[in-house]
Amino acid sequence: MDILSCVNFSLTRGLVLAAWLLCLPFGALAGEVPVFDGAGTFGAVATVPKIGFLVAGEALVEIENAEPGAAPSGDGLAALVGFDGQVVWVRTYGGDGADSFAAVSPAADGGAFLAGMSDSFGQGGADAWVVRVGARGEELWQRHLGGMDEDFASGIAALDDGGCLVAMRRSSDRGPEMRLVRLDNQGREVWSGPQELMPLGVPGLLHSLPPAAGVDGKVRDSGFVLAGTSFVRQGGSQPFALYLTPDFHVTDMRVPGAEGSAMYLAVAGSDLLAAWTAPDASGKVRAHSARLSPDGISTFELVQDSSDTDAFGVARAQSGPLVIGLNLENAAGTMVRIQPLVDPQLPRTQRYASMLDVTGRRGRALAVCQDMLALTGVSLEHGVQRPWFMLAPLGEFDGESLGGGPDIPVDSVPEEQVAGPSSFSEDESVNLEQKLAGGGLVQAGLRSHPDFAWPKPFVRVFDASGHKTADVDLPHFNARVWAMVELANAPGSIAIGLGVPSIPGPASTRVLLLSSTGSVLAEKVCARQEGRVDAFAQGESGEIHAHGVLFEPDGDTGFVCTLKP
C-alpha cells in the first residue's frame, strides 16, 4: 500500500528558528504540518538527525459492506517530516485486518524500524509486528512475533549491527509474558528473553542509553531502558523503569510512584526524565514527573488546575528547558499543553506557566531535537479521528519566550525598584484603574517585554500609602483587561474580565480571580472566541457573574459567565 506524497507545508505561524549543530538546518519553521488527510491517529515520534522527525500510528480504513456500527479496519501509518516542514514521504502498511504502529526508531541508513500489532498475518489473534522501511518509506521486510493469543510490540530500538531490539507482550503456556526480542538486519529472530522480564507486567517504550547513562554512576559503553507497568491491587498498575546492559540483562529497576500508567522517558545525561499519569485520592486524573538519577528519585512540581490531566511525553531541549506534554480535559473540551518543568536540582522555587496550548486536540507523543519541538496526536473532527503533527521552536512560539526562568517573586524585588502608582515604564499602558475598599488601588493594562514578541496584560496593586504590593503579568499574550472588580466578600481579591484575540491566540474570553498579591486563584473560560466583559455581579454564595459580548462576524452576541471561587 504505497501512498508516496510530497505535501506542501502550510505555515500557520510566521516564526523562524535559527537552527544549528546536529539536528536543524537553517530555516526550520514552526506550525502545524498537514501530513495525512485521512482518518486515523499518530502515536509515536522520533528524531532523525539532520533530517527531521519520523511519526507513526494508524490510518483508519472503512470496511466495505460492513454492518452498521462496526469498527473500521486499520493500516500502519508512518511519515517523515523534514525540519523545513516538508513531508518527505507518507505511507501505509498492512493487510486486510487491523494493523497499527505504536513505536518508531530511526535506522542508520535513513530508514526506520516501526513496531506495533497486526491481525492481518501471523498465527492467530493479533501479533507483535515489526516493519523495516528504507529512506523513502519503502518496505524492506516485516516480521510477526507471537503465538495464538493477543500479542503486541510497544517499543523498538535500532542496533549497531543493522538489526533491532523489540519490547513486546507475548502469549505463552504460562500466560502473557513481557519479552525482549532481538532481530537481525533481515528480520530473523536471533534471541529473546531475558528470564527476569517475563513476570513483570506490561511493557512500554524502549530507549537506547548513551555511554554516560549509568544508574550506579559508572560510565557504560551503552545500554537500554524499558518502561512498563506491573499489576498492583485489583485493576491497578505501577510504573517502573528497567535498566539493561548492552547484552540485555537487567541491572536496576526504578519505581517512581505507587500507582499509575507506564512512563514516558527522556535521557538527560546520566539521568532519566520520567512522566506518567495516576489518579489522586479523589479519583481525579493527574500527571506526574520525576528525575531518575543514580542518587535516587526527585519529583517535579507541575502546575495543574481542576482539569483531568494526563501526561503524553517528556523531553529536554538543547538550550535548557525541560518540558512535559499534558492533555487537559474538562467541561470546556480538550487541550494539549506544553509546560516547562522546574528542575529540582536548580535553586528555583517559582512554578512555570504554560508554554504552549493547543485546543481541541489530544497529544500522544513528543520529541525534541536541539530546540525544535515536535508534537503529534489525534483530534476529533465531526466524529472522525484525525492525526495531527506540529513543529514548534522552543526558543519562541506565538511570541512566548520558552527558555527563560520563572518570574521573580514580588518580595524579592529591592525596595528601590518599587514604584508608586503614578509611574510606569514607556513600554506599557494602563487602561483601567479600580480603587480598593481599604484605600488601595489596582491598575491593569498591557506592556511589552524585551524577550517576548507580543505584549502581556498586567495587574499592579498598591496599598493605601501608595506602596506597590504586587505587579504580575497575566498568562495570555496580547489580551485586554476589559473590566475588574473587588469582591465584597473577600476584600483585596479581584475579578478580571479578559479578552484574548486570535493573534497569537488561541482566542478566548475569560474571567480570572486574583488574590491581593496578584496570584491567579481561579480561571473560567467563558468562550473559545474573543469577546468583552462589561460588568460583574456577585451572588450571595460568592459566585461571580460576568456580563459581556462575544465578537461575531454578523454582530456581537451577549453572554453571562459564572465563576465559582
Q: Per-residue confidence of the chain (565 residues) as pLDDT tens digits?
A: 433 332 222 222 222 222 323 454 433 445 789 999 999 999 999 999 889 999 999 999 876 665 655 556 899 999 999 988 899 999 999 988 889 999 999 999 999 999 999 988 766 678 899 999 999 999 999 999 977 677 899 999 999 999 999 999 876 666 567 889 999 999 999 998 876 665 567 888 888 887 654 444 444 557 899 998 876 655 578 888 888 888 888 877 888 876 888 899 988 777 888 999 988 878 788 999 988 877 678 888 787 878 889 999 998 766 556 789 999 988 778 889 888 776 555 444 334 445 677 888 999 999 988 668 899 999 988 778 999 999 887 654 333 333 333 332 323 323 322 223 333 333 677 888 888 888 888 999 888 765 555 678 889 988 888 888 888 888 777 788 999 999 887 788 889 999 988 666 567 898 988 888 777 788 788 887 889 999 999 888 888 899 999 988 777 889 999 888 6
From first CA to last CA, the distance across the chain in angstroms is 55
pLDDT of residue 528: 79
The answer to whether the CB of 223 falls within 8 A of the CB of 245 is yes
What is the rounded CA–CA span in Å between residue 450 and residue 36? 38
pLDDT of residue 475: 72
Characterise 108 by phi-psi region: left (phi > 0), alpha (psi -120 to 50), beta (else). Answer: alpha
What is the rounded CA–CA span in Å between residue 431 and residue 444? 6
Query: Which domains does the chain show, CATH number per domain?
Result: 91-366 (2.120.10.10), 424-563 (2.130.10.10)
Closest CA to 528 of 331, 387, 353, 355: 331
pLDDT of residue 395: 55
All three cell numbers of 453: 514578541
DSSP conformational letter for 416: G
Q: Does the pTM exceed 0.85? A: no
What is the rounded CA–CA span in Å between residue 79 and residue 76? 10
What is the rounded CA–CA span in Å between residue 250 and residue 546? 59
CA dihedral 71, 54, 339, 238 (to 10 degrees): 60
What is the rounded CA–CA span in Å between residue 64 and residue 148? 27
Q: How far is CA 222 from CA 208, 270, 314, in A?
A: 8, 11, 21
The answer to whether the CB of 200 falls within 8 A of the CB of 218 is no
